[in-house]
Amino acid sequence: MLPIDAAAHSSRWRRRHPVDKAVLGLGLTVLAISLPPWPGAALVLVTAVSLLLGPAGVPGRRLWRAYRVPLGFCVTGALTLLVQVGGPGSFVSLADDGPLRAGELLLRTSAASLGVLLFAFTTPMSDLLPRLVRAGVPAPVVDVALVTYRMSFLLLDSVRRIRDAQAARLGHTTRAATWRSLGGLGATAFVRAFDRAARLQAGLAGRGYDGTLRVLVPEARVSVRFTVASCALLATLAVLTLVLERPLT
């Protein structure tokens, strides 16, 4: 199980309906994209971090380990705005408004990433995917996504075990040995994944699989109070941004 999925299963909002958390998490993402980056995205970023570490109960270290990956993409994208190519003085030079545009892009993307992480850290995929059928997504599409999601954990576990075995046999001591071990890792992982898929198909056929996977989904109802509070928070952030935009700029 991935660390972010393990955190979602142990979240304080684990029993809440996915719609409740989607309104809040994805609403923050929409605000980060649509509001002015300063102070709108900054307010969204602070709010998302406060919700994650506070009411949602996400450990700070686990949040940072998940956040640093999208943050790296945000920083990489922002750095490209600092320079311009083909200017009159030289082929590559600093852009006139590069720092401002880079800062705005970094604020928007980092705040939007936290909104998505708020939803991911509180909603296990096993709760979300089966409910997509009720939302109108075709059942075969959801079944394929559900099986792929569960098989990915088995594949990652197999890869980890193979790597540990190769390391124990000094398979990464030299560059040649590393490349040789990497080839063996890919070949063995493919064979094991193919074998697990075949056994999964045989098991489903033995249980009378008729094209639809039936899984138990924890009962949960949409909380009107939580949804209204989320909408009120999002509206407050939007109004506060419009009020503070002129004085702060």
138 φψ region: left (φ > 0), alpha (ψ -120 to 50), beta (else): beta
Q: What pLDDT does 1 receive?
A: 65
Q: What pLDDT does 44 receive?
A: 94
What whole-number distance in Å separates Cα of residue 4 and Cα of residue 156? 15
- Model pLDDT for residues 46-62, shown as the tens digit of each residue: 999 999 999 988 888 88
Q: What pLDDT does 153 receive?
A: 78
Nearest to 162 by CA among 133, 124, 191: 191
What whole-number distance in Å separates Cα of residue 92 and Cα of residue 10? 50
pLDDT (tens, 9 = 90+) of the chain, 249 residues, equals 677 878 888 888 888 888 999 999 999 999 999 998 888 899 999 999 999 999 988 888 889 999 999 999 999 998 988 888 776 667 777 778 888 899 999 999 999 999 999 999 998 887 887 788 777 788 878 888 888 887 887 788 888 888 888 888 888 888 888 898 889 888 888 888 888 888 888 887 887 777 677 777 777 788 899 999 999 999 999 999 988 877 766
Spatial CB neighbours of 44, under 8 Å, sequence gap ≥ 6: 28, 31, 32, 35, 111, 112, 114, 115, 237
Q: Where are the beta strands (DSSP E) in 123-228?
A: none
Identify any residues that bridge with 130 across adjacent strands, giving them in sequence order: none
**Side-chain half-sphere exposure of 175, counting CA atoms within 13 A:** 0
Backbone dihedral angles phi then psi of residue 84, each to the nearest 5 degrees: -130, 150
77 φψ region: left (φ > 0), alpha (ψ -120 to 50), beta (else): alpha
pTM of the predicted structure, to 2 decimals: 0.78
Spatial CB neighbours of 73, under 8 Å, sequence gap ≥ 6: 109
